[in-house]
Structure 1
Amino acid sequence: MRRLFITLVCSFMLLLLSASPAVSAADQSARPNVIVILADDMGYGDVTALNRQSRIPTPNLDKLARQGLVFTDAHAAGSYCVPSRYGLLTGRYMWRTRLGSGGNLANFAGTLIEPGRRTIANLMQDAGYQTGLVGKWHQGIDWKLHDESEREQIRVDPNYQNFKNIDFASPVLKGINDYGFAYSFATAGSAEMNPSTFIVNNRAAVIPTLTTAEAKEKYSEWYGRDDNIIAEGYTMDRLVPTLSNKACEFVETAVRVKPDQPFFLYYAMTTPHNPIVPNEEFVGKSQAGTYGDFVVELDFHVGRLLQNLKDLGIADNTLVFFTSDNGPVDRTRGYPQRWVRGDTQIYGHDSTGDCSGWKGGLEEGGHRVPFIVRWPAKIKPGEACATTIVFNDVLPTLAEMLNVKIDNKTAEDGVSFYPALTGASRPVSFHKAIIHNHHNGHFAVRQGPFKLIMKGPKTVEEVLDPRVPVKYQLYDLDKDIAESTDVADKHPEKVKQMHAILKQYVKAGRSQSE
């Protein structure tokens, strides 16, 4: 283990030193460090600064909101993990990929992002940034197999159990570092997903060998799945602190090794996604049960990273985004016992605030997320912005900030909201419309205050097929954020026009003009 640790540290240092082309000192000083912090399954209503009724203390996120700009109408690119992260990384809707609308990745599925597609990390690396990812990937990894005949099965089978066929000792055939990240310390997916090991620069840090039963016997508890393959030393109580340590280490190393070269960090936290297992020092710190305590732990580690920026003297010229990959899970239905340490009751706390719906759905609670941006050098603190944005917009926003042009095969569904950051322009939206999709495949279109939910078509082919029946629901979110009153019958022309937008976006292969 000691030899592996030394090897990994050396590899990290070499990657940072060689990651990017030379950039002039003048260019460097004009370009901020950039950190994207992504929570996992955290609701808009969990942050006290965004929801006065929250029963969860979030002092660090509240401070971030006071120091930055809060987007009150920000949306994940999907209402669950995979489409949300795909949109953030590529600026494109995931329903355009091989998975389609409602698709998800199996535990050992191959990479989702298409060969040659430019990601946000590619953009930043090409602009001279040191790039790193710490945390949850969940965009697929191509593991080396001993028997290649099972390659297609492994791409689609969520319960693939032939672990002996996976060569965990070898570097992956394709993984995180192939998408613009010079450094990565990651989990393949959510905390409970296989394999339960850290993946460092495209290879397993420790080869997973333990079964769930063996992990329970060794550690007295295991809050993962019943069919996990687990590495020695990989425990749920160590997961969150370890990722926090690595995020801080990346920043510190980047600053000390290349002080004249800015860095980009994508810190994809695994909290508060199940397993809901707050560490002991956070138990009882909220008034919203175990889930609330887990959010308190998340807030602590966000604060730790922000304090790190201050201690290093780089906070003023570091652009920090904080958001969540989608809305919260409906905890009123409970969780499987194996995923929870303690009581799951929410004690009157509403993670979605005034919105209805949950993760996976088309209601606002499934995809309207907290979205806070701080950049003391450029952004006026303590303001709120009602401009509608979506994760697809982050890549083109950074491109505009850096004065980097992107081609028409990049971020086809994203548009820059950089003018909203600086206060130069804050319209209702920079989009003609944005698209939401349900985990079952159904679509919705958002335009201005209106949201049209279409139940019927579940694939892009069905969207374009006039024979597929469609049932409409239309809501005026300015008047009805809870989506309690369907006004489709009162606005038939609006329904027709918004449905036509979805068809147009599907046919064109993009939602932004070339």
Structure 2
Amino acid sequence: MRTLSMTLICSLTLVLLSFSSEVSATTNPRRPHVVIILADDMGLGDVTALNKYSQIPTPNLDKLARQSLSFTDAHAAGSYCVPSRYGLLTGRYMWRTRLGSGGNLANFAGTLIEPDRKTIANLLQNAGYYTGLIGKWHQGLDWKLRDESEREQIRVDLNYQNFNNIDFASPALKGPKDYGFTYSFGTAGSAEMNPATFIENNRVTVIPTLTSAQAKAKYGEWYGRDDNIVAEDYTMDRLVPTLSNKACEFVETAVRTKPDQPFFLYYAMTTPHNPIVPHREFQGKSRAGTYGDFVFELDYHVGKLLQKLDDLGIVDNTLVIFTSDNGPVNRTKGYSQRWVRGDTMIYDHDSNGPCAGWKGGLEEGGHRVPFLVRWPAVIKPGEQCSTTIVFNDVFPTLAEILDIPLDDNIAEDGVSFYQALKGESRPVSFHKAIIHNHHNGTFAVRQGPYKLMVHGPKTIDEVLNESVTATYTLYDLGQDIEETTDISKQHPVQISQMLILLKQYMKTGRSKGS
């Protein structure tokens, strides 16, 4: 009997020790779960907690802001989708890639991230994380072709539409799983981009066969483009909730089936990017028209995921970042009424808050974005931080948190802001300068309160070529956040210093450490 009792005690001890080791693996503050939630085309002024004049109720984001450190001077790595996502994933400016400054990815243009380049997902996967992408990829996929002779044409033809040459029945040759994501489910690009179908682990879930006209006839309406190829199960009202469910499913699966392994979720939402089609249950719920309703729907799904973290009991040691890939689109012009169904400006709502400018531009409204960071185990809640940061900094910040050294050829344009998260140091910036770029290719340099816009040169070669004519405007954002007054004539030395840095960053291929 005594032998049996001792056996039971030893067995219970082993179970408790095993349980203890599992708990320590998931509660270690140097190995937090990581969730990055990236909105699509959402403005700084859309969140009520960041803009008291917002006409859009955002209760879940407001709650997150109260629990977070809010960066008030945070910037996307570009003012539109592709460069901002490239910078976030790689810690490097997209204008250093084959696309150059102002470049964008065509529907079937192939992967942008270089084969040997490390991403955040690689970093965390190699550190033992279970990694997942849910939502919009928009870094290109290399599809299997029936005629390989068109491979190079695809990479340069912005209007390549030979759908018959794409073998959708086969998995893509290269996609998210080749860049560190163990699991992925989402879309190749924005909601309306080709192919209009869900892609899971580099393979379409349903082969797209419908034209836009056929989709409209089948579903009564089609809010995408006129030249889409559409899967039978792909409708705009199904898209957002499907991705939301998948994000929650990924987190629950990770915690339930891999309790001793931290996870990384990159939840790249497709809202509130065009087409603006809020689900019927959210229509009329804001005071800013259809766009406002769509942001309200986004807020609901953010809250749904955050509640899942709470239900699973992992909030304390989960690092959550909420931000947007760039500023909002100027919906007062240039878009079909069937996409917008209303004008946000008539509702006395300013998506950019105090900033001027829109998506794609150099003005602050194009790239200054909401940036909330919650990590209860480390971060003091409810504070604001005015340190200037850029998406490129997320990669080295996670590396420092995990005590992983980075060599010089990784995240060349990122600097860790871990000290700011801990409250140990919150300088004006951890960078000497950061670089913005316009969708037309032009550049701007930010240093301290000053922002220098460089008009004329639209490529690295042109910036470095002294014979290319350039003009400049300089703003003091500390005094003039709306960028109304050009002070370039009063500060020639400041301009010279900023131009030296811009050219240095272009020549050396990096901006960190200088």
Settle same-fold status: TM greater than 0.5. Answer: yes
Would the alpha carbon gap of residues 406 and 219 (structure 1) be closer, same or farther in structure 2, given more than 3 Å must change?
Answer: same
Which of 18, 26, 29 aligns to 2:27? It is: 29
Q: CA deviation at 1:377?
A: 1.1
Q: Is the 8 A contact 1:335 1:344 kept in 2?
A: no
Alignment correspondent of 1:396: 396
Which amino acid in structure 2 is aligned with residue 231 of structure 1?
A
Which amino acid in structure 1 is aligned with residue 479 of structure 2?
K
Alignment correspondent of 2:143: 143
Q: Is the 8 A contact 2:110 2:141 kept in 1?
A: yes
Which amino acid in structure 1 is aligned with residue 273 of structure 2?
H
CA deviation vs aligned residue, 1:274-332 (integer Å, no higher than 9, x gap)? 00000001111111111000000000000000000001111111110000000000011
Q: Is the 8 A contact 1:91 1:394 kept in 2?
A: yes
Q: Is the 8 A contact 1:357 1:365 kept in 2?
A: yes
Q: Is the 8 A contact 1:224 1:338 kept in 2?
A: no
Q: Is the 8 A contact 2:25 2:260 kept in 1?
A: no
Distance (Å, rounded) in 1 between the aligned partners of 2:512 and 2:297: 39
Alignment correspondent of 2:120: 120
Alignment correspondent of 1:299: 299
Distance (Å, rounded) in 2 between the aligned partners of 1:105 and 1:313: 40
Q: TM-score, normalised by structure 2?
A: 0.94
Alignment correspondent of 1:487: 487
Residues paired across the two proteins, number:
491
SS at the partner of 1:329?
coil
Q: Which runs of 5+ in 2 are unaligned?
A: 1-20
Distance (Å, rounded) in 1 between the aligned partners of 2:22 and 2:88: 29
Write the mapping of 1:466-485 to structure 2, written as runs, cut at 5 A.
Answer: 466-485=466-485
Which amino acid in structure 2 is aligned with residue 207 of structure 1?
I
**Runs of 4+ more than 6 Å apart:** none
CA deviation vs aligned residue, 1:64-112 (integer Å, no higher than 9, x gap)? 0001110000000000000000000000000000000000000111000
Write the mapping of 1:230-245 to structure 2, written as runs, cut at 5 A.
Answer: 230-245=230-245
Which amino acid in structure 1 is aligned with residue 323 of structure 2?
T
Pairing 1:316–2:316 present: yes
Alignment correspondent of 2:335: 335
Write the mapping of 1:6-85 to structure 2, written as runs, cut at 5 A.
Answer: 26-30=24-28, 31-85=31-85
Write the mapping of 1:163-202 to structure 2, written as runs, cut at 5 A.
Answer: 163-202=163-202
Q: CA deviation at 1:26?
A: 4.6
Which amino acid in structure 2 is aligned with residue 215 of structure 1?
A
Alignment correspondent of 1:354: 354
Q: CA deviation at 1:337?
A: 3.0
SS at the partner of 1:435?
strand
Which amino acid in structure 1 is aligned with residue 228 of structure 2?
N
Distance (Å, rounded) in 2 between the aligned partners of 1:436 and 1:290: 30
Q: CA deviation at 1:456?
A: 1.1
SS at the partner of 1:186?
strand
Which amino acid in structure 1 is aligned with residue 360 of structure 2?
G
Pairing 1:204–2:204 present: yes
Q: CA deviation at 1:348?
A: 1.4
Alignment correspondent of 2:11: none
Alignment RMSD: 1.1
SS at the partner of 1:332?
coil
Which amino acid in structure 2 is aligned with residue 363 of structure 1?
E
Q: Is the 8 A contact 1:144 1:168 kept in 2?
A: yes
Alignment correspondent of 2:343: 344
Which amino acid in structure 1 is aligned with residue 449 of structure 2?
P
Distance (Å, rounded) in 2 between the aligned partners of 1:225 and 1:107: 12
Q: CA deviation at 1:157?
A: 2.2
Distance (Å, rounded) in 1 between the aligned partners of 2:440 and 2:512: 25
Q: Is the 8 A contact 1:48 1:62 kept in 2?
A: yes
Which amino acid in structure 2 is aligned with residue 383 of structure 1?
E
Alignment correspondent of 1:11: none
Alignment correspondent of 2:420: 420
Distance (Å, rounded) in 1 between the aligned partners of 2:452 and 2:344: 33
Q: CA deviation at 1:233?
A: 1.1
Alignment correspondent of 1:13: none
Alignment correspondent of 2:152: 152
Q: CA deviation at 1:437?
A: 0.3
Q: TM-score, normalised by structure 1?
A: 0.94
Alignment correspondent of 1:508: 508
Q: CA deviation at 1:344?
A: 3.3
Q: CA deviation at 1:153?
A: 1.8
SS at the partner of 1:249?
helix
Which amino acid in structure 2 is aligned with residue 326 of structure 1?
N
Q: Is the 8 A contact 1:32 1:319 kept in 2?
A: yes
Alignment correspondent of 1:16: none
